[in-house]
Amino acid sequence: MTVKQALKAKNKLVVSIMECYSLAKEYNSIEEGNPRRYSVIGLLNEANELTRELVELKAKIHRANAPVFDKIFLMAELKGRVKFLKSIPVDEGKVSDRYSLSSGSVKEVELNVAERNAMIKGLETEIEELQEQLDLHNATTTI
């Protein structure tokens, strides 16, 4: 099994566990006399087995990804930086507040919208390159 396949299997396990929990929550308390469609104890036992399988799979993925941890961590940090840059206000020039009676104010920025967007674009290109390297790793590394 490749890391890519393991990641897909991991996601399926997570969905299955959540389905067990959801059904257990929904069908635990039923009106007396109605048929019990699911065994809550059975669902919880199934969720427990799937959770153990999930933990084992996650550990294997973690060990297989050791050679690319630096890329994984760098990509996460770059994504955080992009998110931060997108949050920086870049309003400049004459700005008026529609709720105020004043004529407005003039704002200046050190980093303008074009410079900020260029930084974001550069970071996104770097993220894409890292993602391609990780995709290759995930497709070729077996666990």
**Cα–Cα distance between 143 and 131 in angstroms, integer?**
20
**Cα–Cα distance between 24 and 39 in angstroms, integer?**
8
The predicted model scores a pTM of 0.78
Of the pLDDT bands very low, low, confident and very high (cuts 50, 70, 90), residue 94 is confident
Of the pLDDT bands very low, low, confident and very high (cuts 50, 70, 90), residue 102 is low
What residues are paired with 93 via a beta bridge? 107
Kindly state the average pLDDT of the residues 29-58. Answer: 96
The encoded tokens of residue 139 equal 């497709």
Give the pLDDT score at 101: 64
Phi, psi values for residue 106, rounded to 5°: -110, 125
